[in-house]
Amino acid sequence: MSSSGLRVVWVYPDLLSTYGDQGNVLVVERRARQRGLTVERVDVRSDQPIPTSGDIYLVGGGEDRPQRLAAERLRRDGGLHRAVDNGAIIFSVCAGYQILGHEFVNDLGQREPGLGLLDVVSVRGTGERCVGDVLADIDEALRLPQLTGFENHQGITQLGPGVRPLARVRLGNGNGTGDGTEGAWAGTVFGTYMHGPVLARNPQIADLLLKLTLDVNALPPVDDRWYEALRTERIAAATQAAA
C-alpha cells in the first residue's frame, strides 16, 4: 500500500455491475475508513486504462454481451495481470469471475478467452439457470463464518488444480458442476458466484481483503450490527425457502 493510502479500483462499472455489486466497493471503502485508512476509490470505465498500482480490484457481474465486451477490453489492456504481479488483490463476482478464468461461453455461443488469472473454465450450463439464495461454508484455510449470497447465472465453472474452491454450498448451486463447490481462489485472486452484494452480506470477506493488503492478522473491530441483521435475515430467508 502506498503512503497516500489504500487504492480501491472498481473495474468497468459501465459493463460489470449487476445485482448491486457496486455495494462491494462501498463496503470495502467504508470498512477501510473505519480502520483509519485513507482510501482512494478509482472507478475505471471500459474506455479507460486499468491502473496497475491499485491495492484491491473489484470486478462485478454482468449480462452476457457486456461480459464479452469487458473480456475483450481487459485482455487488450493487460493491466489486471500487471496489478496481480505487483501483489494486488482481485475480488470478482459471477461474470467477472468467469472472465478471470481461462475461458467462458459468450453471448454468441462461442468460447471466449478469459484472462487466465484463475485456473477455471466456464461453459454454458444445459440445465435451468442457477437462481436463488446461496449458503456456503468458506474454505477452512480462510477461517471465516458461513457465507450468504444470491446467485443468478447460466454459466457453470470447472475448477483446475491451480485453485481451491472458495466455499462449499449448503444451499444453492455455486459453481454449478454438482460437486458442491462455490467460487475459487488462488493467492490474492478470488472469484465467487455470489451477489448480494456479497461483501455487505459477508463483511468478513471485505476484512479478509483488507488484512491481506495490510499484511496483518487482525483488524480493530467495528460496529457490525447492521451487517449481522442483514446476514440473519438472509440466512433465515434462504433456509425457509429451502424447507
Report in angstroms how near the CB of residue 168 gets to ligand GLN at its nearest. 20
Amino acid, res. 129: R
Residue of 94, 102, 130, 153 marked catalytic: 94
Nearest to 155 by CA among 179, 121, 115: 121
Distances (CA, A) of 14 to 41, 44, 48, 78, 185: 16, 9, 11, 19, 25
Q: What is the DSSP letter of 49?
A: P
Give the number of residues written for the chain. Answer: 243
Binding-residue total with ligand GLN (CB under 6 A)? 12
Q: At its nearest, how many Å lie between ligand GLN and the CB of residue 63?
A: 6
Among 64, 72, 119, 137, binds ligand GLN (CB under 6 A): 64
Nearer to ligand GLN, 131 or 236 (CB): 131
SS3 99: helix
61 scored as a contact of ligand GLN (CB under 6 A): yes
Q: Smaller CB distance to ligand GLN: residue 155 or 183?
A: 155
Nearest to ligand GLN of 6, 25 (CB atom): 25
**183 within 8 A of 167, measured Cβ to Cβ:** yes
Cβ-Cβ contacts under 8 Å for 227 (sequence gap 6 or more)? 200, 201, 203
Return the range that interacts with ligand GLN (CB under 6 A); candidates 22-30, 45-53, 61-69, 234-242: 61-69
Residue 94 annotated in active site: yes
Minimum separation from the CB atom of position 48 to ligand GLN (A): 21
Catalytic residue among 102, 130, 153, 195: 195
Active site residue 102: no
Residue pair 175/193 in contact (Cβ under 8 Å)? The answer is yes
Assess 106 for contact with ligand GLN (CB under 6 A): no
CB of 155 to ligand GLN, least distance (A): 3
Q: Which regions of 181-238 does DSSP assign to beta strands (E)?
A: 181-182, 184-186, 189-192
**CB of 32 or CB of 95, closer to ligand GLN:** 95
Q: Which residues are catalytic?
A: 94, 195
Binding residues for substrate: 129
